[in-house]
Amino acid sequence: MPERPQIGYYVHHHGSGHGMRALAIARHLDCDVTLIGSRLPEGPYPPKVKALQLPGDTAPGMQVESFPALHYAPLAVDGLRERMGLLADWMRDAWPCLLVVDVSVEVAMLARLFGVPCVYMRQHGERTDAAHLQAYASASRLLAPYPFAMECSQMPEWVLAKTDHCGWVSRYSRRAGAHAEAEQGSVLVITGQGGTAFTEDSLAAIARRCPDHRFRVAGPLPTSDAPLPANLTLLGQLADPLPELLRAEVVVGSAGDNVVAEVAHLGGRLIAIAEQRPFDEQRLQALQLERLGVAVGVLGVPAADEWPALLERARRLPGSSAWQALLSDSAAQDAAASIVETLDGHFQPALSPP
In this predicted model, what pLDDT tens digit does every residue of 136-175 receive, in sequence order? 999 999 999 999 999 988 899 999 999 999 999 998 886 6
Which pLDDT score is estimated for 66? 84
CA of residue 213 relative to chain centroid, distance: 29
Cα dihedral angle (262, 267, 269, 273), rounded to 10 degrees? 30
pLDDT for 41-99, tens place per residue? Answer: 988 899 999 999 999 999 999 999 989 999 999 999 999 999 999 999 999 999 999 99
Q: How far, in Å, CA of 280 to CA of 287, rounded?
A: 11
Query: What architecture does CATH give domain 6-167+329-351?
Result: 3-Layer(aba) Sandwich (3.40)
Q: How far, in Å, CA of 226 to CA of 232, rounded?
A: 13
Q: Please, which residues bridge with residue 106 across strands?
A: none
**Same fold across 6-167+329-351 and 178-324:** yes
Given CA atoms 302, 19, 128, 132 in this order, what sign does their dihedral have?
Answer: positive
Taking a C-beta distance cutoff of 8 angstroms, is the pair 108, 138 a contact?
A: yes
Q: How far, in Å, CA of 31 to CA of 21, rounded?
A: 17
For residue 319, which of 167, 186, 177 has the smallest C-alpha distance?
A: 177
Q: How far, in Å, CA of 94 to CA of 351, rounded?
A: 16
Specify whether domain 178-324 bears CATH 3.40.50.1860. no
Taking a C-beta distance cutoff of 8 angstroms, is the pair 218, 129 a contact?
A: no
Low-confidence ranges of the chain (pLDDT < 50): 1-2, 350-354
Run of H or E residues at 284: helix 281-292
Q: How far, in Å, CA of 206 to CA of 219, rounded?
A: 17
Which pLDDT score is estimated for 354? 39
Which pLDDT score is estimated for 180? 54
Which pLDDT score is estimated for 226? 86
Burial class for 290, CB neighbours closer than 10 Å (0-12, 13-18, 19+): middle
Which pLDDT score is estimated for 51? 97
Q: Taking the model in full, what pTM does it have?
A: 0.93
Q: How far, in Å, CA of 343 to CA of 108, rounded?
A: 16
Name the packing angle between helices 331-351 and 17-26 (round to 10°): 60
Domain definitions of the chain by residue range? 6-167+329-351, 178-324
Q: How far, in Å, CA of 141 to CA of 126, rounded?
A: 19
Which pLDDT score is estimated for 322? 93
